[in-house]
Amino acid sequence: MFMIDALIKTIEAELDRLGLNKREFCERIQTEPQTYNNWRTRGVPSNKRSAIAKAMNWDFEALSEGRIEPATRTNNPPPTPLSGDGDEDVFAQIVEILIETQNEMIKEGVLSESYDAKALGKIAKQAYVNAMKTHELNPKAIKEGMRFAALLNT
Asked if pLDDT for residue 125 goes beyond 60, the answer is yes
pLDDT digits (tens, 9 = 90+) for 65-123: 777 777 654 444 545 555 555 667 777 788 888 888 878 877 877 777 666 667 777 77
Query: For 51-70, how does the pLDDT look when each residue is reduced to its tens digit (9 = 90+)?
Result: 888 888 787 777 777 777 77
Average pLDDT, the chain: 76
Closest of 147, 153, 134, 122 to residue 70, by C-alpha: 147
Per-domain residue ranges for the chain? 6-64, 80-152
Which CATH code fits 6-64? 1.10.260.40
Which amino acid appears at position 68 of this protein?
A: I
